A and B are shown apart, each in its own frame.
Chain A
Amino acid sequence: MHLLDNESGGHGLRPGAFTKASSVPKILANGQLPPPSMDHLDELEAQSIYILREAFARLKKLALLWSLGKDSNVMIWLARKAFFGRVPFPALHVDTGKKFPEMYAFRDRFGKEWDLDLKIEPCPPIDAVDPTLPPAARSAARKTEGLKWALTKYGFDGLIAGIRRDEEATRAKERVFSPRGLEGGWDVRDQPPEFWDQFNASPPPGAHLRIHPILHWTEADIWAYTKRENIPIIPLYLSKDGKRYRSLGDQDITNPVASTASSIDEILTELDGTKVPERAGRALDHETEDAFERLRVAGYL
């Protein structure tokens, strides 16, 4: 496990620590390996790589939404695996300007180290957002608007997003390839059928698709894979003074949860026993019963 830790001196990083990954079993001297039987993480990885390659093959102009969190970092890692080291499309960070300093430090370092084609797009001021939404949801909706701006600016026809079914009930209903309307909206009542890894990848002109390569992963899967692959993380996920962040968003609408987990192993043990939902610290999920769904129908992630 490696951390981006602002308090560890220098520019806050342990040099060289990020380059070694342990994903592949050691190759024996005589070049022989027993036939690999896939474990659960292998299956998840293979499925995600398949989805990423399908998206790259079938859409014209893709971008990967990089929120800097644990999920989208796993997603970038998977994209590098799918495409043999380099992500062949831009990583888009729709920046609310209100993220934690640790997140910006992480972005600046790994955007370079992972050789990403990083595009940073701003969000509109809060005044430009639907005033009928509750405060936190309204704040989060800036990101939806920022996303629409970026879509218009670049003309992407596919956006790869790191949402998961286990995070939240409306996300559980998502398709892997999820069509969006011309305004970026999600018509949950008229989702096309999707089966046998055959995806609907023909958005009408002007509309776009959301592609969800880690939809089938769980929070515990993300951490177990992060550990196995030695993927760097932002230190805010680990316990400090009895608290840690389970999910990272804007500073003003994201709260830490009580936790003593100070390593990925301890996080996994903690998740094994918890019944508290992952997004408990995300204010916007809890303001009203349907605030999150309204956000998503309008094009939020």
Chain B
Amino acid sequence: MNMILPTAISATPNGTTRPQVRIVIVGHVDHGKSTLVGRLLHETGSLPEGKLEMLKAVSARRGMPFEWSFLLDALQTERDQGITIDTTQIRFRTRSRDVVLIDAPGHAEFLRNMITGASQADGAVLIIDALEGVRDQTRRHGYLLHLLGIKQVAIVVNKMDRVDFSADRFKAISDEISAHLIGLGVTPSAVIPISARDGDGVAEHTPRIGWYQGPTVVEALDALEPARPLEQLALRLPVQAIYKFDDRRIVAGRIESGSLSAGDEIVIMPAGKIAKIKTVESWPVTPLTGSHGAGRSVGITLDRELFIERGDVIAHAGAIPRDTRRIRARIFWLHDKPLSKGDQILIRLGTRESRASVVAIEKAVDPGELSNEETKAIARNHVGEIDISLAQPIAADPYQENPRTGRLVIEVNGRIAGGGLVLSVDAGQRAVPIDIVPVESALRPEERSARYHHNGAVIWLTGLPGSGKSTLARALERRLFSRGGSPILLDGDTLRAGLNGDLGFSAQDRTENIRRLAEVATHLARNGHIAVVAAVSPSADDRAAARRIADTTFREIYVATPAEICESRDPKGHYAKARAGTLQAFTGIGNDYQPPARAELSIDTSAKTVSDATDEIERMLAETGILFDELVDLAANI
């Protein structure tokens, strides 16, 4: 038995640096959850002194035989009804870790409490009565584990004493529940025959289950791992509040995934504003240096004053969540009144709340039933897929990409009524007035890419005047055209002669100039062309805005020719004029060019021939999925 309390003092006296794993025990009512928990506590020597005796006395006084479950059913009402009505958390320790057992009610009436308990768990134990077999609540709980994102599940087939420890009965149940769970994408880590009342299979293999070779419950629990913070994923910092307690303006929130450091370039979604993290604030020591990872509650200050509010999500440029007003979600519903098409609801996603309406309901089923009878409304304790239209744009991810920013809850009359996973997010719905109806192209993107041997792209060449952007852009245009592609050059100065003729060189006009360039280029890219943009575009903010507009088609190339060489070239005579004072607002002489930090490619034209540089660009485009040569390659990408 590896779950007894260690007799020696552990290396860390309070156990606070030991891993903690939270395990929820779920299953149909009366299948023996509380009994199993009581037995586990007893077997691991975790019971408070006198507790067992006290409960035995209570049982005797009430004229009832002692039940292990009394241990958990601390409330008066529960002892009267003999069921657990809310979740109870019990802690004990193994040699290697602290375990928090969450006992969740099995009664259908209390599904909201089961969800409350299970949502906090790293892993789950699903318990099934060997005599009764898989019941509706067994299936429902299995389905909810999937919706709650719990991947580690061990199955316990309890009350084996009631079926004479029959290996055949065990196998039948094991096969049925395994098939159900695997169908939901949850593979059980073990299926264990036990008798919680007598102790077989809980901490020890006994002769009565001699035919069983797998782990005991205690061993299976030891194999469940604590959930890890999502440091490997892209940064998501939902904003909880802005504090101005002193002269600092602190943006506070918890890092849900990824990590951040002072100096990082960030994007504030859904508005798409750009800023840099100036400091990471704390107390009592501040500011902090270094990287701060997922799970931390932090406070940051930014390098500029901009409008930011609770509900915004901070991300790194190039890896932002989508902004949307339309979400498709797979949800469970807990409210008495069924959820129907047209219902007005409140959505909470991260720290954002938004009014919303249900546009469509599909696949509404009772996950407890075998036959999936679909309906048009989602009844209490049922699940379904819904389309939601939001009153304001929000930042979100599909749950496969980020489980933390890919889940939402639904509130009705100020009370949480359901929740679920974001299946997909319709991007780009923002700022489209309802009386504009864009006409879609008659051609599909695949038709164009099959002809051109490339996908649509926006190639953005940025750099000082004279750095060689136009030269490279023209060489690239020729190269792409020769291989059968459809490149289109968008030169900043050329567009200023027409489309952007109304714009000057103020910061505001430059921003608008870039926005229009990006919009035109993106339109071309969406229609399969490669738009080659050559524009100084000195502002990092403006370029980040262009990247947002072009989204995944954007490829930034920094033409990083040294300033003195650019000035010596001076192909348009601008440097000379600026030096002479006859050309105002010229980028190049001052320090107003902000070089990109995360360009896809950086080229110094003073160190390369035009042909070599073009080769390099072509290679980058092939490696990042824009160019492809043959259908073989195309297939490899699918």
The answer for the CA separation of A276 and B48 in the assembled complex, in Å, is 6
Check if A40 sits within 8 Å of B17, measured CB to CB: yes
Check if B290 sits within 8 Å of A224, measured CB to CB: no
Check if A173 sits within 8 Å of B75, measured CB to CB: yes
| A269 and chain B: residue at smallest CB distance | B13
Taken residue by residue from 233 to 252, chain B's Cβ proximity to chain A (1 for < 8 Å, 0 otherwise) reads as 00000001101011010101
Check if B17 sits within 8 Å of A39, measured CB to CB: yes
Return the contact of B86 from the options A86, A166, A173 (Cβ within 8 A): A173
Residue of B253, B283, B285 most packed against chain A (CB within 10 A)? B283
Complex interface: chain A residues within 8 A of B19 (CB): 40
Taken residue by residue from 77 to 111, chain B's Cβ proximity to chain A (1 for < 8 Å, 0 otherwise) reads as 10000000111111100000010000000000000
B613 beta carbon closer than 8 Å to chain A: no
**B522 CB to closest chain A CB, in angstroms?**
35
The answer for the CA separation of A23 and B88 in the assembled complex, in Å, is 32
Check if A38 sits within 8 Å of B415, measured CB to CB: no
Return the contact of B416 from the options A81, A198, A293 (Cβ within 8 A): A198
- Known contacts A41-B16, A81-B282, A188-B75; decide if A196 and B240 are in contact (CB<8 Å): no
The answer for the CA separation of A271 and B289 in the assembled complex, in Å, is 36
Check if B112 sits within 8 Å of A193, measured CB to CB: yes
The answer for the CA separation of A290 and B77 in the assembled complex, in Å, is 10
- Known contacts A50-B240, A276-B48; decide if A169 and B285 are in contact (CB<8 Å): no
Interface residues of A in 251-301 (CB under 8 A from B): 265, 268-269, 271-273, 275-277, 289-290, 293
Check if B289 sits within 8 Å of A32, measured CB to CB: yes
Residue of B74, B253, B291 most packed against chain A (CB within 10 A)? B74
| B289 and chain A: residue at smallest CB distance | A31
Complex interface: chain A residues within 8 A of B75 (CB): 169-170, 173, 188, 293
Complex interface: chain A residues within 8 A of B348 (CB): 198
Which stretch in A6-14, A51-59, A132-140, A153-161 binds the other chain?
A51-59
Check if B88 sits within 8 Å of A81, measured CB to CB: no
Check if B299 sits within 8 Å of A27, measured CB to CB: no
Check if A84 sits within 8 Å of B293, measured CB to CB: no
Check if B116 sits within 8 Å of A193, measured CB to CB: yes
Check if B295 sits within 8 Å of A46, measured CB to CB: yes
Complex interface: chain B residues within 8 A of A35 (CB): 231, 259, 290-291, 293
**B38 CB to closest chain A CB, in angstroms?**
13
A189 beta carbon closer than 8 Å to chain B: yes
The answer for the CA separation of A34 and B241 in the assembled complex, in Å, is 28
- From DSSP, what is the main secondary structure of chain B's interface residues? loop
The answer for the CA separation of A170 and B78 in the assembled complex, in Å, is 11
Check if B284 sits within 8 Å of A85, measured CB to CB: yes
Interface residues of B in 385-406 (CB under 8 A from A): none
Check if A269 sits within 8 Å of B9, measured CB to CB: yes
Check if B89 sits within 8 Å of A272, measured CB to CB: no
A96 beta carbon closer than 8 Å to chain B: no
Check if B414 sits within 8 Å of A224, measured CB to CB: no
**A279 CB to closest chain B CB, in angstroms?**
11
Which stretch in A61-69, A118-126, A141-149, A215-223 binds the other chain?
A215-223
Taken residue by residue from 269 to 295, chain B's Cβ proximity to chain A (1 for < 8 Å, 0 otherwise) reads as 000000000000111111011111101
- Known contacts A173-B88, A200-B416, A221-B14; decide if A27 and B282 are in contact (CB<8 Å): no
- Known contacts A50-B297, A269-B9; decide if A191 and B86 are in contact (CB<8 Å): yes
A2 beta carbon closer than 8 Å to chain B: no
**What is the interface residue range for chain A against chain B?**
35 or more
Taken residue by residue from 59 to 84, chain A's Cβ proximity to chain B (1 for < 8 Å, 0 otherwise) reads as 00000000000000000000011111
Check if B240 sits within 8 Å of A54, measured CB to CB: yes
Complex interface: chain A residues within 8 A of B116 (CB): 175, 191, 193-195
**A56 CB to closest chain B CB, in angstroms?**
7
Return the contact of B119 from the options A192, A196, A220, A221 (Cβ within 8 A): A196
Taken residue by residue from 135 to 157, chain B's Cβ proximity to chain A (1 for < 8 Å, 0 otherwise) reads as 00000000000001000000000
Check if B284 sits within 8 Å of A24, measured CB to CB: yes
A101 beta carbon closer than 8 Å to chain B: no
Check if A202 sits within 8 Å of B414, measured CB to CB: yes
**A44 CB to closest chain B CB, in angstroms?**
8
Return the contact of B414 from the options A34, A198, A200 (Cβ within 8 A): A200
Complex interface: chain B residues within 8 A of A88 (CB): 245
The answer for the CA separation of A171 and B77 in the assembled complex, in Å, is 15
A37 beta carbon closer than 8 Å to chain B: yes
Complex interface: chain B residues within 8 A of A84 (CB): 243, 245-246, 248, 250, 281-283, 286, 299
| B86 and chain A: residue at smallest CB distance | A173
A183 beta carbon closer than 8 Å to chain B: no
The answer for the CA separation of A86 and B250 in the assembled complex, in Å, is 14
Complex interface: chain B residues within 8 A of A43 (CB): 295
Check if A36 sits within 8 Å of B49, measured CB to CB: no
A49 beta carbon closer than 8 Å to chain B: yes
The answer for the CA separation of A144 and B427 in the assembled complex, in Å, is 52
**A284 CB to closest chain B CB, in angstroms?**
16
Complex interface: chain B residues within 8 A of A85 (CB): 245, 283-284
A240 beta carbon closer than 8 Å to chain B: no
* Apart from A53-B240, A275-B49, 4 more pairs, CB < 8 Å: A50-B254, A188-B85, A189-B85, A272-B9
List the 5 shortest-distance A-B pairs measured between CB atoms, nearest first.
Answer: A33-B290, A169-B74, A202-B414, A195-B119, A193-B112
9 contacts between A and B (CB under 8 A): A24-B284, A36-B290, A46-B254, A49-B254, A81-B283, A172-B90, A220-B16, A272-B10, A275-B49
